[in-house]
Chains A and B, each alone.
Chain A
Amino acid sequence: MSTTLVSQSLVKAKSLSCPNCGTPIELRGFAHTLSAVCPSCLSILDASNPELQILQTYQGKERIEPKIPLGSRGTFNGTVYELIGFEQRSVQTPDDYFSWDEYLLFNPYKGFRYISEYCGHWNVIRVQSRVPYPTTARGRRGWVLDARKFAAFDAMQAATSYVIGEFPWQVRLGETAACEDFIAPPYMLSSETTAGETTWSLGEYWEGSKIWQAFRLPGKPPSPQGIFANQVSPYAGKTGAAWRMWLWFNVALFTLMTIFNLTKANKEVFHDEYSYAYFKNHDTSFVTPAFQLDGVNKNVEVRFHADIRNDWIYLSMALINDETGQTFDFAREVSYYVDSDGSEGNRDNRVVIPSVPAGRYYLRIEPEMVTGALSTRYEISVRRDVPIYSYFWIAAALLLIPPIVTWFRSNQFEARRWRESDYRPVDSPVMKIAGGIIESLGDD
């Protein structure tokens, strides 16, 4: 193909001089620039017109210095952009006033991008040539774009309250637009409607340090205040991770416990049956024959079973070392009642004595029943080194703490985020109490 018609002449930057104060103005946006602000007297000039009319003069007294100077060049996704315009936009309602900054970036091939900043929170924004489609997200009105659901966060009437630099549109102080923000952190979808036409733009949350890095600015960015609409929660994804971790810990715990319990001897060392009969002023206590307990400091389980019905039996017992006289005292009641509503109690009970040294032992048993009880049969058995499950349940319960704390903290963060929203949800009483508990735990 012929390329003879291609001219390689350079498109020159245009310069003007302000018709109000005579200050020379170098334009950075070439013929894209439709309005420019005199850096000296802040008059807004019509740059599209060779006569360079003054469209608006600045009535305010305050000059605002942008945090990133005009003319700065920064690299975003490998493309260099130049900062050519700065606007402050503000919202005035009967009970609130706030403002944020918008920076206009330009590259003569790739076009325009925006950066917004509010209280140290930054967004890098691009106007969209796609329209999202409506949905509901988090129970709110929302939009879908790129398979992401954006939930309605706020809506406002924003006015342009300060401008410097140049713009590819006819900028005017005081001009308002209906703005709405929808969030899917770290993204924010915004709509701006003027004269019935809506422009969609997509912002991505950037840390101030990344903005500083992109522009190679000296010093440090202002530290962010509060939580911003589309700021990523430090707990994002961590609640799920904490629960998955909990599950794995339980699997590990269960495996360990199973292996541990398999190593238990779990050996019956004594078993006998007795019969109780009440005699007035009669000492019911007796001792069992001695039995051998092997192994170093293993546990000992004593089980009872009584053939009772609508009755109870109380057993005071002592496990006594035949050689040293070391004694382990304990007592258990077995009670069992039945009526038309069902049963209550249990015919069985048990005691586990941890850490009993090896040796020959016998039991001293003193049964007690209600005065005048009929003869009651009961059984006693002793097992050495039995599996223990209670530790597992305690450990499993303790392991619940980190995921629950993470879950509550994540909820707290989201609650703080949505407190700034126009569609602020009502905190449930449960979350309020839980939040109080978590906050009292401190940050770590």
Chain B
Amino acid sequence: MSAPTSNCPNCGAPVTFRWSSAIQTTCEFCHSILIRTDLDLKKVGEVADLPADASPIQIGTEGVLDNKGFVVIGRIIYEYEQGGWNEWHIVFNDNSNAWLSDAELEYDVSWLAPQHQIPVIGRGSECILANRAYTVTSITKAHYKGVQGELPFEYWDKSDVAFADLRTPTGEFATIDYSEKTPLLFLGRSVEFDDLHFKNLRLFEGWTS
């Protein structure tokens, strides 16, 4: 993977992209949110201090899914009244990307489903997506708490975002993200920690991974 390097327009620190298709990143040093333009990097904002989190995953964590290696290159952090979760942006060794969500250490992986009809849903309702029957398990109003690293789109000026999670009896997972004018549908499945064969995880006092 190419690693084009630029400099942070705010503090001059080197900014390295792990993924050629990244649109946005954050400066590791001054926490500026940087948008890639044709010519250079543009600062659009600054990340406030990230909330303390206890995800074992971090930028640079590697893993394997469906026999393809991936690396974690960015994340979006959400909070809601019952807790919070991370949407880790992962890039596979074939340059494709996906989202690995970690909610209270329950892991789901999902991919953006392009141009999919968004069903009208309510709590507990059922719908058919990609020929499978899904049940709506939760509708969450979350606060966008911050971003880190490389993302496939600009994502820095959000406040409250609504999500709906849908699941099947066999572990398929779907989430509808209502943050855009046209809601986005992500399709995927729940994954077991052990099945992801992680490397470069965070270490916790008193524990071995």
User: Which of A28-36, A157-165, A324-332, A388-396 is the interface stretch?
Assistant: A28-36
Whether the pair A6, B61 counts as a contact (CB closer than 8 A) is yes
> A9 contacts which chain B residues (CB < 8 A)?
202-203
User: Which of B32-40, B112-120, B167-175, B179-187 is the interface stretch?
Assistant: B167-175
Residue A440 is within 8 A (CB to CB) of chain B in the complex? no
> A31 contacts which chain B residues (CB < 8 A)?
51-54
> B81 contacts which chain A residues (CB < 8 A)?
170
Bitwise, B79-102 to A at CB < 8 A (1) or not (0) is: 001110000000001000000000
Whether the pair A13, B205 counts as a contact (CB closer than 8 A) is yes
Among B61, B105, B193, the one with the most A-chain Cβ atoms within 10 Å of its Cβ is B105
Q: How far is the CB of B138 from chain A (nearest CB, A)?
A: 5
Residue A138 is within 8 A (CB to CB) of chain B in the complex? no
Residue B200 is within 8 A (CB to CB) of chain A in the complex? yes
Whether the pair B169, A110 counts as a contact (CB closer than 8 A) is no
> B160 contacts which chain A residues (CB < 8 A)?
none
Residue A127 is within 8 A (CB to CB) of chain B in the complex? yes
Whether the pair A111, B106 counts as a contact (CB closer than 8 A) is yes
Q: How far is the CB of B183 from chain A (nearest CB, A)?
A: 20
> Complex formed: what's the CA distance from A130 to B106 in Å?
12
> Complex formed: what's the CA distance from A314 to B16 in Å?
116
Bitwise, A190-225 to B at CB < 8 A (1) or not (0) is: 000000111000000000000000000000000000
Whether the pair B105, A110 counts as a contact (CB closer than 8 A) is yes
> A1 contacts which chain B residues (CB < 8 A)?
1, 18, 62, 69, 71, 93
Given A3-B200, A145-B169, is A112 in contact with B104 using a C-beta cutoff of 8 Å? yes
- Contact size range, B: 35 or more
Residue B209 is within 8 A (CB to CB) of chain A in the complex? yes
Total number of A-B contacts with CB less than 8 angstroms? 110
Residue B58 is within 8 A (CB to CB) of chain A in the complex? yes
> Complex formed: what's the CA distance from A107 to B104 in Å?
11
Contact of B203 among A4, A10, A29, A132 (CB under 8 A): A10
Whether the pair B16, A109 counts as a contact (CB closer than 8 A) is no
> A119 contacts which chain B residues (CB < 8 A)?
none
Whether the pair B205, A10 counts as a contact (CB closer than 8 A) is yes
Among A3, A110, A130, A133, the one with the most B-chain Cβ atoms within 10 Å of its Cβ is A130
- Tell me the dominant secondary structure on chain A's binding face: loop
> Complex formed: what's the CA distance from A169 to B81 in Å?
9
Q: How far is the CB of A74 from chain B (nearest CB, A)?
A: 14
Given A6-B60, A11-B202, is A34 in contact with B83 using a C-beta cutoff of 8 Å? yes
> Complex formed: what's the CA distance from A285 to B113 in Å?
106
> A428 contacts which chain B residues (CB < 8 A)?
none
Whether the pair A131, B167 counts as a contact (CB closer than 8 A) is yes
> B139 contacts which chain A residues (CB < 8 A)?
197
Whether the pair A131, B135 counts as a contact (CB closer than 8 A) is yes
> A131 contacts which chain B residues (CB < 8 A)?
135, 137, 167-169
Q: How far is the CB of A324 from chain B (nearest CB, A)?
A: 84
Whether the pair A109, B54 counts as a contact (CB closer than 8 A) is no
Whether the pair B54, A11 counts as a contact (CB closer than 8 A) is yes
Bitwise, A1-40 to B at CB < 8 A (1) or not (0) is: 1111111111111000000000000000111101000000
> Complex formed: what's the CA distance from A31 to B145 in Å?
15
Whether the pair A2, B16 counts as a contact (CB closer than 8 A) is yes
Residue B124 is within 8 A (CB to CB) of chain A in the complex? yes
> A30 contacts which chain B residues (CB < 8 A)?
54, 204
Chain B positions near chain A (C-beta within 8 angstroms): 1, 3, 16, 18, 28, 51-54, 56, 58-62, 69, 71, 81-83, 93, 104-106, 108, 123-124, 133, 135, 137-139, 167-171, 173, 190, 193-194, 200-207, 209
23 pairs from A and B in contact (CB 8 Å cutoff): A2-B3, A2-B60, A3-B60, A4-B60, A5-B28, A6-B61, A11-B202, A11-B204, A13-B204, A34-B83, A107-B207, A108-B204, A112-B104, A129-B167, A129-B171, A130-B169, A130-B190, A145-B169, A168-B104, A169-B83, A170-B82, A197-B138, A197-B139
Chain A positions near chain B (C-beta within 8 angstroms): 1-13, 29-32, 34, 107-112, 127, 129-133, 144-145, 168-170, 196-198
Extra contacts, 11 of them, besides A5-B60, A130-B190 (Cβ < 8 A), are: A1-B18, A1-B62, A8-B203, A11-B202, A32-B83, A108-B54, A109-B56, A110-B105, A144-B169, A196-B124, A198-B137
